[in-house]
Amino acid sequence: MILLVQLINNEIDNANNENKVYAMRSLTDNISNSIILSYSGGNGHKVYLSLPKSICNCQYNIYIKEDEVYCVCGNLKCKSTIFVPVDNVELYANKEYLFENENNKVRVVMQ
């Protein structure tokens, strides 16, 4: 009986992790797309993006480093790749950001 309960708990945890990873990946893709849109719009083009308070009730961290956007939530991590020059920066939950093409490099500014 205990084994059955453990199996059910493991399945629930796996389903929760799948939902969390999906939400994390969606967020990193959204950030990557915002960066690419601001870059491809040309010099001076701006894109605004608001970040959620949490991901599946989990606090998260976002890092933009070189050519990737990372999301860390608990013991889970995911990333999206970007192929444009951008500032290395940490983004914070529940904040709004401006991605601006400034001389063909994307500048990230918290609003």
What does the pLDDT profile of the chain (111 residues) look like in tens digits? Answer: 565 445 445 555 555 678 899 999 999 999 999 999 999 999 999 999 999 999 989 999 999 998 999 999 989 999 999 989 998 999 999 999 999 999 999 999 999
**Single pTM value for the model:** 0.85
How many Å apart are CA 86 and CA 70, to the nearest integer? Answer: 14
Phi, psi of 51, rounded to the nearest 5 degrees: -95, 145
Compute the Cα dihedral for 12, 74, 52, 69 and give only its sign.
Answer: negative
